[in-house]
């Protein structure tokens, strides 16, 4: 047997492809990719939002960086991470979609959670688009301000969830309000809808976030909203 026979090309290719799979084979790292799909963040911000220590978060980010899924830039004492390419966001969405289609447990857990929250069905995306373009609804982005500035659905107004209660008086009572956040498994929009309904507003949740919206081939905006600021 020839001990010096070169490794077949396909084996080498598969090994490199497996680097992506290994890097993504962690719930914590998938959550980081999901968050970075919303926009660039510092290690400290990611640690705070995932509930992990800075050291643990940094370790996971380094694994993702070695697989070239994320990039890092140091400014002063802080390191900011961002996705290395828009394809990384597409990869995450396709992986999630595959899991949703093949693993019934995801649908079961989601349905149970929404039933416990007594959450109504989300507004259909095509209906939302039509109503927003017609000026029939008020669309609010309840994510943190920096995520809104990085990218948001056209026509949306930035009202971070933590500021929503003090700005209820600025929202039009005569229109339906549609809230969105980071996608189908983000609870900020659910919390916003709960609050709005308790205060007498006709409020609904949009399941899609910015990555899902962009994946449809629809335009997203950056910077300030159409009113020039964060307030409705």
- Do 61 and 47 touch, CB atoms closer than 8 A? no
Give the three-state DSSP class for 81: strand
| Given the residues 181, 193, 208, 210, the one annotated as active site | 181
User: Using CA atoms, how far apart are residues 226 and 221, in angstroms rounded to an integer?
Assistant: 10
The question of whether 181 is a catalytic residue gets the answer yes
Q: CA-CA distance, 76 to 23, in Å (whole number)?
A: 28
Rounded Cα distance, 177 and 189, in Å: 11
Count the Cβ atoms, other than its own, within 10 Å of residue 25.
11
Six-digit token pair at 113? 């959670």
User: Could you give the residue numbers annotated as active site?
Assistant: 181
């Amino acid at each position: 047997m020839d001990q010096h026979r070169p490794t077949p090309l396909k084996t080498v290719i598969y090994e490199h492809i497996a680097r992506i799979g290994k890097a993504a084979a962690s719930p914590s790292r998938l959550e980081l990719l999901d968050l970075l799909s919303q926009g660039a963040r510092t290690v400290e911000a990611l640690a705070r939002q995932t509930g992990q220590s800075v050291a643990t978060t940094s370790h996971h980010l380094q694994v993702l960086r070695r697989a070239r899924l994320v990039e890092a830039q140091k400014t002063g004492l802080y390191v900011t991470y961002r996705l290395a390419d828009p394809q990384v966001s597409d990869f995450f969405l396709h992986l999630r979609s595959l899991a949703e289609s093949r693993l019934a447990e995801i649908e079961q857990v989601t349905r149970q959670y929404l039933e416990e929250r007594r959450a109504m069905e989300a507004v259909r995306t095509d209906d939302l688009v039509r109503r927003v373009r017609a000026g029939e609804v008020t669309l609010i982005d309840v994510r943190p301000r920096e995520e809104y500035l990085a990218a948001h659905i056209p026509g949306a107004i930035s009202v971070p969830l933590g500021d929503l209660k003090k700005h209820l008086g600025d929202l039009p009572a005569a229109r339906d309000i549609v809230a969105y956040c980071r996608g189908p498994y983000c609870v900020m929009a659910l919390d916003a809808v709960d609050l709005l309904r308790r205060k007498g507003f006709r409020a609904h949740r949009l399941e899609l976030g910015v990555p899902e919206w962009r994946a449809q081939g629809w335009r997203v905006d950056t910077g300030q909203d159409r009113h020039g600021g964060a307030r409705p």
